[in-house]
Structure 1
Amino acid sequence: MSITSDILRGHTEAIILAHLLEQDSYGYQINKDIMKKTDNRCELKEATLYSAFRRLEQAGYIRTYWGDETVGARRRYYSITEEGRRAYQSYKRDWEEAKETIDQLLK
């Protein structure tokens, strides 16, 4: 079963921040890792991913820097800030509350 974008809408930023808690990364790798973690059931569209990066950067939750690849194109890496770590915890609490409420409603 593929996970629809409707289910993920509103959680893209939290998903990205969760990934960046583990390590700095770049867009293509983040999407590849999301697909791997979900057994290819979830893939973020490029426009969705990069729009979320812009929002996160404007909010001060992530910062960017250029990699120093010697082969191929240079990559823009993303890293989470302390403010981003706090935002992630808030997103996670909101998700847990919403999940609990939906679980109760679907019983």
Structure 2
Amino acid sequence: MSITSDLIRGHTETIILAHLMTKDSYGYEINKSIQDKTDNQYELKEATLYSAFRRLEQSGYILSYWGDETTGARRRYYTITPQGRKAYEDNKRDWEEAKRLIDKLI
């Protein structure tokens, strides 16, 4: 069974921030990590991923920079800011509270 996007919608940015809490990364690597963690049950569409990057950067939660790959195409890397770390912690706390309430209701 695959996870429907309706269940995850609204949490895309928090999922990206969670990945960036551990290390700087680029789009393909983040999406691959999501697929691996969900046993290929969920992946972000490229348009969704890059729209989220734009929103996160405009909010000051992430910064982007170009990597210096010596082979292949250059990659745009993303790094989380202190503001982004706080947003992640706030969003995670909100999710845990919502999950607790939903568990009681279902």
With normalisation by structure 2, the TM-score equals 0.98
1:45 aligned partner:
45
1:21 aligned partner:
21
Q: Helix, strand or coil: the match of 1:74?
A: coil
Q: Helix, strand or coil: the match of 2:40?
A: coil
**Equivalent residue runs for 1:19-98 within 5 Å:** 19-98=19-98
Shift of residue 63 of structure 1? 0.1
Residues matched between the structures, number: 106
Identity across the alignment (%):
75
Shift of residue 36 of structure 1? 0.5
Deviations 1:60-103, CA, capped at 9 Å, x for gaps: 00000000001111000000000000000010011011101110
Cα distance in 1, alignment partners of residues 35 and 52 from structure 2: 17
Matched to 1:27, the amino acid is G
Matched to 1:6, the amino acid is D
Deviations 1:32-69, CA, capped at 9 Å, x for gaps: 01100110011000011000000000000000000000
| Ranges of 4+ aligned residues in structure 1 off by more than 6 Å | none
Matched to 2:20, the amino acid is L
User: Where do 5+ consecutive residues of structure 1 fail to align?
Assistant: none
Matched to 1:2, the amino acid is S
Matched to 2:36, the amino acid is K
